[in-house]
Amino acid sequence: MTGQLEWVDLGVMDYLAAWERQRLEAREAEERRATGKTIHRVLLVEHPHVYTLGKNGDEANLLAPEGVTLLRVNRGGDITYHGPGQLVVYPVIDLLRAGAGVRQHVDWLEEIVIRVLLRHGITGERLPGATGVWIEPRGNAPRKICAIGIHCSRGITTHGFALNVNTDLDRFKRLNPCGIVDKGVTSIARELGRPVDMENVKAAVREETNTLWNKTRQP
């Protein structure tokens, strides 16, 4: 891939404010095309409690709507939850300048998460037909640890992945996560049996992302 990666840690930010920030970054990325300078920005954030529904999602997958904030958004995928203890990563990538396609971008996001999990002694895997990263997807208790949903317009990506680090998993009981009814959800903390330092996870995401980016970088 080509171009420079820049990282922005937004801390804790309301979902709609972060969505607007992505749109701003996407507009700037498109404007930079004319200059020949390619900068891709990756936003790190935690959101207050919110449920989001992808553009082709089914609202019936929200099982207990009372008192819930549900936002319809333009990413792919169905319904998911965002909240404290979950690391959300929004790579705003100009795929046209990076020399990549949408499928390659999604594979890249999955690979980043798999590598981050491995650092914590957890084996994450892909599940054909179900985007994201899973634990024991072919076992007796398959569970999703990371949801992925992106939007691509004019060759520039927004949205990204949500990795459950210390997430309150009870929040997922209100929905069929990603529209799936026969599999569970988990977090790094749940798998390890202890809380995890969020800053260490952020650092791992940055390092693994930069490593993969440079590995696939075109001359």
Span 51-74, mean pLDDT?
Answer: 93
Rounded CA Rg of the chain = 17
Strand, helix or coil for residue 122: coil
Q: Is the pLDDT of residue 219 over 50?
A: no
The sign one gets for the Cα dihedral 178, 68, 74, 212 is: negative
Predicted confidence (pLDDT) per residue in 104-118, tens digit: 999 999 999 999 999
Strand, helix or coil for residue 92: strand
Q: Tell which CATH classification among 3.30.465.10, 3.40.50.720, 2.60.40.790, 3.30.930.10 matches the domain 4-215.
A: 3.30.930.10
Residues in the chain: 219
Q: Residue ranges of the domains in the chain?
A: 4-215
The better pLDDT of the pair 122, 218 is held by 122
Q: How far is CA 159 from CA 22, 121, 156, 166, in A?
A: 8, 27, 10, 21
The DSSP symbol for 62 reads B
Average pLDDT, the chain: 94
Q: Which residues are catalytic?
A: 178
Enter the pTM of the model.
Answer: 0.95
